[in-house]
Amino acid sequence: MKIQPVKGTRDFYPPQMAVRNFIVDGWKASSIRNGFVEYDGPIFEHLQMYQVKSGDEIVEQLFNFTDRGGRHLAIRPEITPTLARMVNKQINALPRPIKWFSVPRLCRAERPQKGRLREFFQWNIDIIGVEDVLADAEVVYCSLDYLRSVGLTSGDVVAKISSRRLLAALLKNIGIAEDKLESLYPILDKKTRIPVEAFVEMLGKEIDSTDTVQTVLKLMDVHLVDEIPDIVKLNEEAKVSLDELIQVFAYLRTMGVEDWCRFDMSIVRGLAYYTGMVFEIHDKAGDLRAVCGGGRYDNLLSDFGGPKVTATGMGMGDAVLEILLREKGLLRDDSLDIQKLDYFVACLDADLLDKAVNITAQLREKGHASNFSYKTGALKKQMKVADSMNAAKCIILGAEFKDSKQLVVKDMQTGEQELLDAESLFKS
RNA sequence: GUGGAUGUAGCUCAGUUGGUUAGAGCACUAGAUUGUGGAUCUAGGGGUCGGGGGUUCGAAUCCCCUCAUCCACCCCA
């Protein structure tokens, strides 16, 4: 009976595992370089946790089950609720600011398509407890710092940045009621993904005045902060949030990544919980889904029963990133080493196999990654194996050892070889 | 949940208007070469042609159903 892998999952054979490690190791290195510390939580949580901020529709989109005690549980589709739960629990003991990162494995019961799977990895960074938009800038910077570190340039990707706070102030200013905002965000978020007519039609269902719809339309196309006052008069709240956003860009300039960043009112994010800066990083060609997205969320911790503490963060999935890196030629299957050995011990005579195993064991004890050959004889074959295992050095046990306890140590890179006794080998 | 495309060896794919024992390249194993790696050549193993049913003397090929994959929509934390 043949059993197939589950829909939307991936098997990580060694070559794919090398790719995954390349991505995850890069994420972790960037996190550490930017001063974040790692955390993780359980892969399943109470289903209720995901209903708090997303409602009952979310149940359709995640994997949930009931345990033998009748508890309704769900495999985590995101890690932010877990983060909120964990931080809340120790909020008074944790030194501020909290700069945490994680690379959780997540599952969502969606239909797979390009850049979207049912099981994936997502890099998350969050800064909790810092009001200053400097923290928002740092989150954007850290995301870009990673993308830069793997070889992408400001010609490849762009960080589109906006502000929910500013957007809310402007919308209220043109006469849109506060309680309309929440249902409006998911529509505004679609702006760049759907035809203008469809967008206008959707807006029309939420907004009565066609003039207001047109104003919103103009507003969404704004890419320069100076243009905003031409469209909408700024009230006090709008002025403050605009200054805040300008300050984000000022910090990003200080950090040296202004070329990568652009103001874009059409970045809204569908989620209700964003309260301040929001951003997404896209490939410049715009062919792919967002590489990452995030922003400031001031109410999440309190939504999970904690105190009101401000936070800002982002998430980056591995699926879109991998597609982008391949498109840009920054990730090729043959460019990653699946295995690396310090030593491969070849053995020419069955009498010496015991010694070969012993030498390998001692090399391993010294911390050197080492393999011996299960087959003795034909050296050519063993050299091929040493090569395929990417061994830095090959030790050959043959006549020299029988005659004078000497090992042939061959440098696989240069091809040079020297004679050594076992003791001096272990010293190195 | 809706629509489109595609399923042949581990991978990438040939396979003529339906016709005998289903092929190639790469990969794998062994040998050419019993002490020297990335090359070349030779040989070998590996397939109920996604699964089931139907049409036919005969199906990888035609029809139906089903499953899976990919792509788009819905949704996107």
Confidence (pTM): 0.93
Using the structure, give the distance in angstroms from the CA atom of A25 to the C1' atom of B68, rounded to a whole number. Answer: 32
Tell me A226's DSSP state: G
- The full DSSP string for A342-367 is EEEEEESSGGGHHHHHHHHHHHHHTT
Across A57-118, where does the E strand assignment appear? Answer: 64-66, 72-75, 98-102, 105-107
Using the structure, give the distance in angstroms from the CA atom of A38 to the C1' atom of B54, rounded to a whole number. Answer: 60
Q: In the block, which residue shows the tokens 């000022």? A: A250
Residue whose C-alpha is closest to residue A141's, from A6, A323, A279, A48: A279
Domain check: are A329 and A358 in the same one? no
Residue whose C-alpha is closest to residue A280's, from A192, A163, A160, A185: A160
Q: Of A333, A348, A383, which marks where a domain is finished? A: A333
Residue whose C-alpha is closest to residue A361's, from A389, A395, A405, A388: A395
- The full DSSP string for A379-403 is HHHHHHHHHHTTEEEEEEESHHHHH
Q: How far apart are CA A212 and CA A262, in angstroms?
A: 26
Tell me A107's DSSP state: E
Quick one: which residue's CA is nearest to B72's C1'? A113
Angle at A151 between CA A148 and CA A153, to 5 degrees: 60
Strand-pairing partners, residue A122, are A317
Domain check: are A329 and A343 in the same one? no
Domain check: are A216 and A277 in the same one? yes
pLDDT digits (tens, 9 = 90+) for A190-247: 888 888 888 888 888 888 888 999 999 989 988 898 899 989 989 999 999 999 999 9
| Residues contacting residue A214 through CB under 8 Å, at least 6 positions apart | none
Decide if A241 contacts A277 (C-beta within 8 A).
Answer: no
In this complex, the nucleotide whose C1' atom is nearest to the CA atom of residue A412 is: B37
Q: In the block, which residue shows the tokens 């969050």? A: A126
> How many Cα neighbours within 13 Å face the side chain of A387?
9
CATH number at residue A413: 3.40.50.800
Q: Of A314, A333, A352, which marks where a domain is finished? A: A333
Decide if A78 contacts A315 (C-beta within 8 A).
Answer: yes
Domain check: are A294 and A354 in the same one? no
Residue whose C-alpha is closest to residue A296's, from A184, A144, A139: A139
Within a domain: A296:
yes
Decide if A390 contacts A337 (C-beta within 8 A).
Answer: yes
Within a domain: A70:
no
Using the structure, give the distance in angstroms from the CA atom of A16 to the C1' atom of B16, rounded to a whole number. Answer: 39
Helices (H) and strands (E) in chain A, counts: 16, 17
- The full DSSP string for A24-70 is HHHHHHHHHHTT-EE----SEEETHHHHHHH-GGGGGGS-EEE-TT-
Within a domain: A209:
yes
Using the structure, give the distance in angstroms from the CA atom of A384 to the C1' atom of B30, rounded to a whole number. Answer: 14
- What are the pLDDT tens digits along chain A (428 aa)? 567 788 888 989 898 999 999 999 999 999 999 999 999 999 999 999 998 777 677 788 899 999 999 999 999 999 999 999 999 999 999 999 999 999 999 999 988 888 899 999 999 999 999 999 999 999 999 999 999 999 999 999 999 999 999 999 999 999 898 888 888 888 898 888 888 888 888 888 888 888 999 999 989 988 898 899 989 989 999 999 999 999 999 999 999 999 999 999 999 887 778 999 999 999 998 888 999 999 999 988 999 999 999 999 999 999 999 999 998 989 877 778 889 999 999 999 989 999 999 999 999 999 999 999 988 888 999 999 999 999 999 999 999 999 999 999 999 999 999 999 988 888 86
User: Which positions on strand B lie below 7 Å from a protein C-beta?
Assistant: 1-2, 28, 30-31, 33-38, 67-77
Domain check: are A259 and A282 in the same one? yes
CATH number at residue A180: 3.30.930.10
Q: How far apart are CA A64 and CA A80, in angstroms?
A: 18
Quick one: which residue's CA is nearest to B75's C1'? A110
Within a domain: A275:
yes
Domain check: are A357 and A328 in the same one? no
Within a domain: A229:
yes
In this complex, the nucleotide whose C1' atom is nearest to the CA atom of residue A401 is: B35
Using the structure, give the distance in angstroms from the CA atom of A54 to the C1' atom of B19, rounded to a whole number. Answer: 61
Q: How far apart are CA A215 and CA A230, in angstroms?
A: 11
In this complex, the nucleotide whose C1' atom is nearest to the CA atom of residue A58 is: B77
Q: At A4, which amino acid appears?
A: Q
The burial of A25, by beta-carbon neighbours within 10 Å (0-12 exposed, 13-18 middle, 19 or more buried), is given as exposed
Q: At A81, which amino acid appears?
A: P
Using the structure, give the distance in angstroms from the CA atom of A353 to the C1' atom of B65, rounded to a whole number. Answer: 60
Residue whose C-alpha is closest to residue A278's, from A292, A294, A290, A263: A294
Tokens representing residue A368 in the block = 């050197």
How many separate domains does chain A show? Answer: 2
Q: Of A300, A333, A366, which marks where a domain is finished? A: A333
Within a domain: A53:
no
In this complex, the nucleotide whose C1' atom is nearest to the CA atom of residue A106 is: B77
Host domain of residue A153: 14-41+79-333
In this complex, the nucleotide whose C1' atom is nearest to the CA atom of residue A400 is: B35
How far is residue A194 from each of residues A80, A207, A270, A285, measured CA to CA in Å?
A: 28, 18, 14, 17
Domain check: are A121 and A224 in the same one? yes
> Residue A97: is the preceding peptide bond cis (ω within 30°)?
yes
Using the structure, give the distance in angstroms from the CA atom of A385 to the C1' atom of B37, rounded to a whole number. Answer: 8
In this complex, the nucleotide whose C1' atom is nearest to the CA atom of residue A50 is: B77
Domain check: are A374 and A230 in the same one? no
Domain check: are A324 and A405 in the same one? no
Using the structure, give the distance in angstroms from the CA atom of A4 to the C1' atom of B57, rounded to a whole number. Answer: 37
Tokens representing residue A330 in the block = 């920054």
Domain check: are A168 and A199 in the same one? yes
Within a domain: A159:
yes
Query: Beta strands A37-38 and A311-317: pairing type?
Result: unpaired
Using the structure, give the distance in angstroms from the CA atom of A2 to the C1' atom of B60, rounded to a whole number. Answer: 21
Using the structure, give the distance in angstroms from the CA atom of A373 to the C1' atom of B9, rounded to a whole number. Answer: 29
Domain check: are A329 and A345 in the same one? no
Domain check: are A275 and A343 in the same one? no
Decide if A290 contacts A146 (C-beta within 8 A).
Answer: no
Return the pLDDT at A159: 97
Within a domain: A216:
yes
Mean pLDDT of chain A: 92
